Copies of this chain bind each other. A is one copy, B any other.
Amino acid sequence: MTDQAEDRRPLSRRIADQLRKEIESGQHAPGAKLPSQRKLAERFGAVRNTVDEALKILAQEGLVVAEHGRGVFVRVKQPLIRLGSDRYSPKYRESGLSPFLVECAKQGKVGRFEVLGIERIKPDNALADQLKVSDKTKSVVRRENVFYADTDPVYRVTTWIPWRIAQGTGLLQAEVPHQYGIHGVFEDKGHAMARISDEITARMPTPDEVGYLNLSPGVPVIEVMHTSIDQDGEPYEVTRFVMRADMNGLSYNVPVE
């Protein structure tokens, strides 16, 4: 009776289910190569196309990765880089270490980032609203960065700063003009970080994001819209993180108010 129910499911699904079971039970270890599509086809009495379909299902689930010309491999789970709610804590600013670099170091990786571009632009409505600036003029500075752990791109970061604050600070240059980083600049301008507001969503990447984060199929992205709020309750900076979900997590350890 179970068999009957099984039998009416598509063959590609049944093959995927069987292989998933074998992977989860450890019959195929992480990193191991699965039999070739042609061999699997023979084993399951299906045509290669159908096996290909089954493997695509598993790839979408993030269980396997196909490498052209080499084979299909059980995906090795990457350790997560945890971006914490304490990432803006003053304790990091004084030590000179960013939480990202600390996390990378923990995993024996070298963290670094590249500046992709800096521009003074006209904000869209939502952003103008959030930062309380005009949406008619070039009232914000946008900075684009990519972060790497070793050679893997890990997340893309876009920061928007009101021109009123950025003006005359050198934030239009690639090199951040302060020993404590960009938030040092804000403090000098009279904006100490009192609160943060983070809005978190997850979704499948756009084709663009697949390209610049070098994503394999079945890896979603986490998008964080972060706003820094100063001692007067005024927002003075917005940052968007787009992170690959297979290498990143978030962590919030906060008081209940």
Contacts of A86 in B (CB 8 A): 257
Q: Knowing A61-B206, A245-B220 are in contact, say whether A256-B88 is a contact too (CB < 8 A).
A: yes
| A38 CB within 8 Å of chain B | no
How far is it, in angstroms, between the C-alpha of A88 and the C-alpha of B256 when the chains are bound?
7
Closest B residue, CB atoms, query A198: B252
Number of copies: 2
Check B202 against A220 for contact (C-beta < 8 Å): yes
Closest B residue, CB atoms, query A245: B202
| A222 CB within 8 Å of chain B | yes
Check B193 against A256 for contact (C-beta < 8 Å): yes
Q: Size of chain A's interface in residues, with CB distance under 8 A?
A: 42
Closest B residue, CB atoms, query A252: B198
Contacts of A252 in B (CB 8 A): 85, 196-198, 200, 252, 254
Check A201 against B245 for contact (C-beta < 8 Å): yes
Q: Knowing A60-B60, A257-B89 are in contact, say whether A251-B198 is a contact too (CB < 8 A).
A: yes
For window 190-229 of A, CB contacts with B under 8 Å fall at 193-204, 206-207, 217-218, 220-222
Q: Knowing A60-B204, A257-B89 are in contact, say whether A199-B17 is a contact too (CB < 8 A).
A: no
Closest B residue, CB atoms, query A56: B56
Closest B residue, CB atoms, query A206: B61
Q: Knowing A206-B61, A220-B245, A245-B220 are in contact, say whether A200-B251 is a contact too (CB < 8 A).
A: yes
Interface residues of A (CB under 8 A from B): 17, 20, 60-62, 80, 82, 85-86, 88-90, 193-204, 206-207, 217-218, 220-222, 245-246, 249-257
